[in-house]
Amino acid sequence: MKMSDLVAQYIIRMLDETGGNAEIQRNELAGLLGCVPSQINYVITSRFTPEQGYIVESRRGGGGYIRITRVTTDRREAMMHIVSSIGDSLSETTAGHILLTLARQQMIEEYEYNLMSAAVSDKAYACVDQSVRDRLRAAVLKNMLITHIMMK
């Protein structure tokens, strides 16, 4: 397992144990997990984003910390926030992260996750010119999520 996966799992476990709020001291966590502090930064900036349902605050200095809060809002409101955060263009990787977050937070079911993942994969857009692929993917994912919201 990659170090970044271990760091992410550790932070998620902390969030689960503390009701969705965790305060982390970067150097302390790096020492505990046997990695460099920049690895902690990388994991936090790539896996604990607003699109993935987290708010990250940091305070620098001697008593500095990184506070991660799992956002818990109304499902419909959270889904609309995600739709509005997608923008006009979306890579396959980012689309996958969004869908995985929705599945982990049980906002979509496994069956829906699999269907939507297939619909936003590069394989589905193989016959589409590369220059429009990410724009088309964003439009398709937004439409699927809005339809999901309306059906629930």
> For the chain, which residues make up each domain, given as ranges?
3-70, 75-151
Q: How confident is the model at residue 63 (pLDDT cuts 50, 70, 90)?
A: low
What mean pLDDT comes out for the span 126-152?
A: 93
Q: What is the pLDDT of residue 71?
A: 77
- At 101, which amino acid appears? T
CA distance 81 to 4: 27
Tell me which residue has tokens 């079911």: 109
Q: pLDDT category, 126, cuts 50, 70, 90? A: very high
Collapsed DSSP state (helix, strand, coil) of residue 25 = coil
Query: For position 62, what pLDDT does the model report?
Result: 65
In CATH, what class is 3-70? Answer: alpha beta
Does residue 124 surpass a pLDDT of 80?
A: yes
Given a cut of 80, whether residue 61 has pLDDT beyond it is: no
Angstrom distance (rounded) from CA 123 to CA 74: 33
What was the pLDDT predicted at 145? Answer: 95
How far is the C-alpha of 120 from the C-alpha of 140, rounded, in Å? Answer: 7
CB burial of residue 11 (10 Å; 0-12, 13-18, 19+): buried
Dist. CA 83–CA 67, nearest whole Å = 25
pLDDT number for residue 70: 85
CATH topology of domain 75-151: 1.10.1200
Work out the angle between the directed axes of helices 130-151 and 92-104 (0-180°, nearest 10).
20
What's the rounded Cα separation, in Å, for the pair 6 and 33? 8
Q: How far apart are CA 99 and CA 107, in angstroms?
A: 9
- Sorting pLDDT into bands at 50, 70 and 90, what band is 78? confident
Average pLDDT of the chain, as a whole number: 89
Measured distance CA(104)–CA(110) in Å, rounded: 9
Q: How large is the average pLDDT for residues 123-148?
A: 94
